[in-house]
Structure formats: C-alpha cells, structure tokens
Amino acid sequence: MMNKVHMLLLATALLLVGVSAPEAAAQEGGCWGLFRGNQRLTGSLSANLPAKPQLLWTYSTGSMIKSSPVVCDNRIVTGSSNGMVYCLDMNGKQLWQFKTSNGIEAPALILDGKVYIGNLDGTLYALELKTGKKVWEYKTENQIVGSVNWYKSGKSTRLLVGSYDYYLHCVDAATGKVLWKYESDNYINGAAACHNGMAIFGGCDGFLHLVDIASGKAVKKINVATYVAGSVAVEGQKAWIGDYDGKFSQVDMTAGAISWKWEDPKVKLPFIASPAVAGNYVVTGNHDKNIYCFDKNSGKKMWNFSTGNRVEASPVVAGKNVIAANMRGDLFLLALTDGKELWRYEVGSAIISNPAVAGNRIILGAADGNIYCFGNN
C-alpha cells in the first residue's frame, strides 16, 4: 500500500506528464469507478492478473446487462435492462438496489461516495453509494446510453453526460442543477473524455467535439468520420476513435486534423468498441470479429486476433494483458505485445458490457442477466 510520500511523488510525476492525480487514483488500489477506468477513457491500468482466472461468483439480475460495471470502495455497481441499479460487495452479495423509471444501458460513475447513472428515458440519477438512497435526478430530453464523466472546477465538481437529445449536459454534482448544455448535430452515444479543461467526444454527427468545461463553449469541432458510436480515448493532444464505416483514426487535436487512419481494404464493418491506450499500443475491437492492436503513433497494425464473433465490448489493457470479449460470450486474455491467446472462458451469452478491473479481478455483465467475477480464490 502506498504511503503519503509515495502518493505525493506519484501525483507530482503524473502532473508533469499531463495526468491529474484524481485520474491516477482511479487506476490504483482496486478502484475502477469510471467507464474505461479514468477521465481520459484510456481503458488501461497497471494490474497483475492471474494467468488463468477462475470464476469466483455470479449474481443474477434476471434481465439483460448492457451497462458496464464500475468498482470502488469495495462496491460493484451496474445497471440492468429492467431499470434497476444494483450494488454488490466484492463477494457478490447484494447491498442494495434502486428502481429507475426505465431500462439502463449506460455505465455508472462512482465518485465521492455517490453513484451517478443515466437511463433510457433520459434521466440522470445521483444515489448514495452506501445506501442507494436518491439524492437528486436530472432529466434530459432523450435516452442516455453513455457514461457520466467528471471534472473538478475550484471547489465544485461538474458532471458531463451526453444524450440522444443531441446535447452534452454539464450538471453540478452536488445539486443536479444544469450549468450549461452544448448542442451537437446528432445523437451522442458515447461518453465524453475530460482532459486539460475540455470535454472531448465523438458524435453521431461525424465530428470530434472539444468543449470548454468552464463555459460550455466550443473550442474546436473536427470532421473525423461518419457515425461515431464508441467513446474516444485521449492522451496528451492526441485522440483515438473508431467509426461506423470501419475506419479507426488518430486525431491531432492541436492541428484539428486526422494524423493517421486505418481501414480494412475489403471488409468495412463498424467499430462499436471504445479503444484502450497503453504504452505505444492502442487496442480496439470491430464487428468483423477481430481485436486489433496498432502502434498508437504511426498507425501501423501490430496484430489482430479473431475472436470468432462480433466485438462490441471495449477491450481493457491490464498490465501486459488485453481483456476482450465477443457477442458469442467468449472472454479472453491476450498478450499485449503479439495478441497471443493466453486464456479464454465461455460465458455462453453475449457480452456487450465492458469489463472492469479491480485488483486482480475481472468483473463484467452479460446478456443472460448475470454479473461475472473472475480472479484468484
């Protein structure tokens, strides 16, 4: 466990490379409190997973799970298509449940003792993490399917969430009051990354939007693609994004242009999964059944691995491993360097839910309504 001196040194080092201390905290100590693990949505962390994870437990919600679990303070939170929010302990025991007004596909956010989650009638809820008691609710005009993200501004915390009403909404975390709304030109399906005072998201309008979090004003609007279903991953002044026409790109946000772009010359199927960035690698999945790994700087394809079925769940890079899943219900561990299959487990039901990693555990949901936890006994 890190002492205060080590934590201070870590925070200082991360600030020097442009990563805030809160983002680092999200990746250390068994906390995966946000979709993709941190505010920049990089989907990666340092972790020492078991070579052959064992199924430790399952929990049945009785309804399809598309929502991705999040983990913090020894609590697991996920939503289900039955409209329920479930909170479990690390042994799979239910601590509480909360009934919302409609089905849930969006991942939750755990932050400062609260749970924030949106549902398909466009309502964003704030709940107490310990009890599940509702703190407030905020209504958008259409469904929410992407995660909430957050950004601290002075003493206050701002929540950012996209909706199918075309708006990115900025809401005060304490009160649920809207601070501003930024209008795009189509649905907002994925989550917005937060970095350097900006909210960064790809819309179904085919643009990468950079929005000033303080004011809600557009910083830049970059033409990147057609329909963008997944979330963007951000590191420094670069962003990585896939689109519905089968193109995967790196965007230089300073230049306001695409740095490199990859697409299969024959098969042009959608990138629904959000990318993971770690070291020199960027990893994503496609409807053509493959997990792809590229050199993040040059765009050179390093390897691809055929999972045998469509990929919609976003891969996670955990140390030297890639965690991936497909719509047939196969869960994989792959070697980050070459894509070699190290382990697989057949859940037997479609996996759309993105994996969460906490300590040496992998937690995810499936279409059979079960939450699965893998790790060491």
Q: Where are the domains of the chain?
A: 31-375
Mean of the pLDDT values across residues 57-81?
A: 97
Question: Is 353 in contact with 35 (CB distance < 8 Å)?
Answer: no
The token duo for 206 is 């085919």
Question: Which residue from 56, 65, 49, 67 is spatially nearest to 333, judged by alpha carbons?
Answer: 49
The residues facing 210 across adjacent strands are 200, 220
Band of residue 5 on the pLDDT scale cut at 50, 70, 90: very low
Q: Is 35 within 8 Å of 77 (Cβ atoms)?
A: no
At residue 93 the predicted structure's pLDDT band, cuts being 50, 70 and 90, is very high
Average pLDDT, the chain: 92
Confidence of residue 316 (pLDDT cuts 50, 70, 90): very high
Residues 6+ apart with CB under 8 A from 319: 45, 46, 47, 48, 49, 336
Query: Would the pLDDT of 137 be above 90?
Result: yes
Cβ proximity of 356 and 362 under 8 Å: yes
The reported pLDDT for the residue numbered 306 is 98
Tell me, what's the pLDDT at 261?
Answer: 97
Angle at 262 (CA atoms; ends 258, 265), nearest 5 degrees: 135
> Is there a contact between 153 and 113 (Cβ–Cβ < 8 Å)?
no
**Pick the residue with more confidence: 29 or 225?**
225
Inform me whether the pLDDT recorded for 15 exceeds 80: no
The pair of structure tokens assigned to 44 is 């990666």
**Whose CA is closest to 102, among 135, 59, 145?**
145
Q: What is the mean pLDDT of residues 297-301?
A: 98
Share of the chain above pLDDT 70, in %: 92
Mean of the pLDDT values across residues 272-292? 97
pLDDT of residue 153: 83
- Residues 164-177 have pLDDT tens digits of 999 999 999 999 99
Contact (Cβ atoms closer than 8 angstroms) between residue 337 and residue 323: no
Residue 22's pLDDT is what?
39
Residue appearing with tokens 């299969």:
264
Nearest-angstrom CA–CA distance, 232 and 226: 14
pLDDT at 11: 39
Residue 24, pLDDT above cutoff 80? no
Would you say residue 23 has pLDDT above 60? no
Average pLDDT over residues 35-41: 97
Computed on alpha carbons and rounded to an integer, the radius of gyration of the chain in Å comes to: 19
Mean pLDDT of 142-160: 95
Mean pLDDT in residue range 303-308: 98
Does pTM top 0.85 for this prediction?
yes
pLDDT attached to residue 226:
82
- The answer, yes or no, to whether residue 49 has pLDDT greater than 80, is yes
Q: What is the pLDDT of residue 272?
A: 95
Q: How many CB atoms lie within 10 A of CB 133?
A: 11
Q: What is the pLDDT of residue 13?
A: 38
pLDDT at 30: 75
d(CA 72, CA 260): 36
Distance CA 154, CA 352 (A): 36
Please tell me the predicted confidence (pLDDT) of residue 189: 94
* CATH (residue range 31-375): 2.130.10.10
pLDDT at 54: 97
Write out pLDDT tens, residues 188-205. 999 999 999 999 999 899
pLDDT score for 155: 86
Q: What is the mean pLDDT of residues 103-128?
A: 98
d(CA 38, CA 32): 8
Which pLDDT band, with edges at 50, 70 and 90, does 225 fall under? Answer: confident
Q: What angle do CA 142, 144, 147 make, to 5 degrees?
A: 160
Cα angle 106, 275, 365 (rounded to 5 degrees) comes to 40
Amino acid at 342: L
Could you write out the DSSP letters of every residue in 346-357? Answer: E--S---SPPEE
